[in-house]
Amino acid sequence: MQLDQVNENSPLRILERCCQEGLGEGELGVVMARAGVGKTAFLVQIGLDHALRGHSVLHVALGQDLEHVRSWYDALFEDLADTTALDDRDAVRAGVDTHRIIQAYSDASFPHERLDDLVALYGQTGFKPDVIMVDGLDWEGGEVVERAAELGALKQIARRLGAVLWIAAQTHRDQTPAHPTLVPPPCAQYEALINLAVFLEPEGTHVGVRLLKDHARDATAETHLQLHPDTMRLVRDETATGVVRLPASAYTLLSGGARGAETIFGETAERFGAGETTFSFAGRDTERQRGLVELTPTELQRGAVSEAYITAQLHRSFPETPAFQTLLQSIWHQVATAGEVFVVGEVLEDDTVKGGTGWGAELAKHLRKRLFVFDQKREQWLTWGDGTWAPVDPPRIERTRFTGTGTRFLSDAGRQAIEDLFERSFGNR
């Protein structure tokens, strides 16, 4: 397919038609979602779409590694090229690179002075952005008045440049109702500055794309768009099926980095080239250090569940020590943003999984994640569905964010099951 046809048929043309042709110069669009749902993938596709049309893109990544963002561009470009049979893909890819600049910072703040400095720096090479994207901004730090002033200043710079501005914002489950119709916190306080608000909402196995604000319109149109469950590619509802094989580098293992199954998951992910995020907290030593994220007390509290609930779900109690309760809270972060969960352990007669690992499996059930357990006693993969466990053919990793966890007491069969899982998923790529 020719590039102009690809651009014409892009799902983003549908989004633009749903919202008065998108954003104008100096206008602000916000993409909102919980952590790990797809904000980065959504912004990357906006940047990729603009670059494919010859527009200049400045992508600012806060608290992220530059290579991580670039890998998203590479993976989504390859996916697009494959699914559209794009002509002369090497030349098109080179064109994208010339029209895009990624600037990464280690912190989550982006005062307007930084944008002015970037514009001046890259302006010396003749680069002037048509679209500015900011991913990872902390919407909750500082005073509301100060944040509003900064957003207004960023919009003024964009207007001066004749550019559109997109910013990602992280929402929280406890502050956002199911199927919201209004802009939720933390963006609600700044709604007057937002011209276009897009909300990414998990719906079963996929992520729906919803408009919550479209300039001054009272009602917003249905987009009939979603993020593909495997690749996070923006697609029409009717085309969101099927499995597209991405390179291992497009996938990220979420784990706790503990001795046993989690260590083998991490080592194997690294060997095959997959990313890794290891969740921990102050005072805890992990076997795995790659992609280490030390959760703050506030972040841990998001995963807090009452002891009574845990006991009711798992039919047993756990130590009430602060360290163990914090460990259970950290498991929520391993599972909540994953597309699927792989556990190595033992399924008990009451349908729970033995040990502390069982809490991760119960969370996966509760959050309706794809859940697979390799039962070391049966030496068999099982999957959870319709309220029961059933044997299943050895699975593949099919979600770009997946959890790998399990027992500390890993058998030879359990170790082999992990290695075979990665071999099936990435061995021939």
* Domain CATH number, residue 401: 3.40.50.450
Contacts 24+ apart (CB under 8 A), 120-128: 122/58, 127/56, 127/58, 127/101, 128/56, 128/161, 128/163
- The pLDDT, as a whole number, for residue 283 is 84
What is the residue range of 393's domain? 248-426
Q: How far is CA 211 from CA 15, 184, 203, 333, 353, in A?
A: 9, 12, 15, 27, 40
Q: Higher pLDDT residue, 91 or 386? A: 91
Q: Tell me, what's the pLDDT at 406?
A: 94
Q: How far apart are CA 263 and CA 418, in angstroms?
A: 11
151 and 287 in a single domain? The answer is no
Q: Are residues 78 and 165 in the same domain?
A: yes
Q: What is the mean pLDDT of residues 335-347?
A: 88
Q: How confident is the model at residue 241, as a pLDDT? A: 47
CA distance 380 to 371: 14
Q: What percent of the chain has pLDDT over 90?
A: 51
Section 232-254 average pLDDT: 72
User: What residue type is assigned to position 267 of the chain?
Assistant: E
Band (245; pLDDT cuts 50, 70, 90): low
Per residue in 66-125, pLDDT tens? 877 887 888 788 878 888 889 998 899 999 999 999 999 989 889 999 999 999 999 999
pTM above 0.75, yes or no: no
Say yes or no: 223 and 372 in one domain: no
Average per-residue pLDDT for the chain:
87
Indicate the helix (H) or strand (E) that contains 312: helix 307-314
Q: Which amino acid is at 132?
A: I
Phi and psi at 275, nearest 5°, equal -75, 170
Residue 97: the pLDDT is 92
Percent of the chain's residues with pLDDT above 70? 90
Count of structural domains, the chain: 2
- pLDDT tops 50 at residue 242: no
Range list of β-strands (E), 94-179: 100-105, 131-135, 164-170
Average the pLDDT over each of 54-68, 251-265, 355-369 and give the range with the smallest value.
355-369
Domain of residue 15, CATH code: 3.40.50.300
Q: Are residues 152 and 191 in the same domain?
A: yes
Q: Which of 188, 211, 239 is the last residue of a domain?
A: 239
For residues 187 and 331, membership in a common domain is answered with: no
Tell me: the pLDDT tens digits for 141-191?
889 999 999 999 999 999 999 999 999 999 998 888 888 889 999 999 999
Between CA 391 and CA 337 the distance in angstroms is 25
Cβ(107)–Cβ(62) below 8 Å? yes
240 pLDDT band, cuts 50/70/90, is very low
Out of 239, 267, 296, pick the residue that ends a domain.
239
Residue holding tokens 């500055």?
193
Looking at residue 382, its pLDDT comes to 97
Vertex 220 angle, CA 216 and 226, to 5°: 135
- Domain boundary, last residue among 221, 239, 257: 239
- Stated as kind and residue range, the H or E segment containing 275 is strand 275-281
Per-residue confidence (pLDDT) for residue 297, from 0 to 100: 86
Whether residues 335 and 363 fall in one domain: yes
Same domain, 189 and 312: no
The listed range with the strongest mean pLDDT (192-206, 339-353, 361-375) is 339-353
Is pLDDT at 319 greater than 80 in this prediction?
A: no
For residue 118, the SS3 value is helix
Q: Best-predicted range by mean pLDDT among 104-113, 170-179, 220-229, 333-342?
A: 104-113
Interval 187-215 mean pLDDT: 89
Same domain, 284 and 398: yes
Question: What pLDDT, on the 0 to 100 scale, is given for residue 230?
Answer: 60
Q: What is the pLDDT of residue 218?
A: 63
Do 278 and 289 meet the contact criterion of CB atoms below 8 Å apart? yes
Residue 12 has pLDDT above 60, yes or no: yes
418, burial (CB in 10 Å: exposed 0-12, middle 13-18, buried 19+): buried
Is there a single domain that holds both residue 266 and residue 387? yes
The verdict on 267 and 199 lying in the same domain is no
Same domain, 271 and 232: no
**Residue of 421 and 286 predicted with greater confidence:** 421
Tell whether 235 and 260 lie within a shared domain. no
Q: Is the pLDDT of residue 313 over 70?
A: no
Kindly report, residue by residue over 250-297, the tens digit of the pLDDT: 899 999 999 999 999 999 999 999 999 999 888 888 899 999 988 888
Query: What is the pLDDT at residue 243?
Result: 45
- Which two structure tokens, joined as six digits, stand for 40? 């980065």
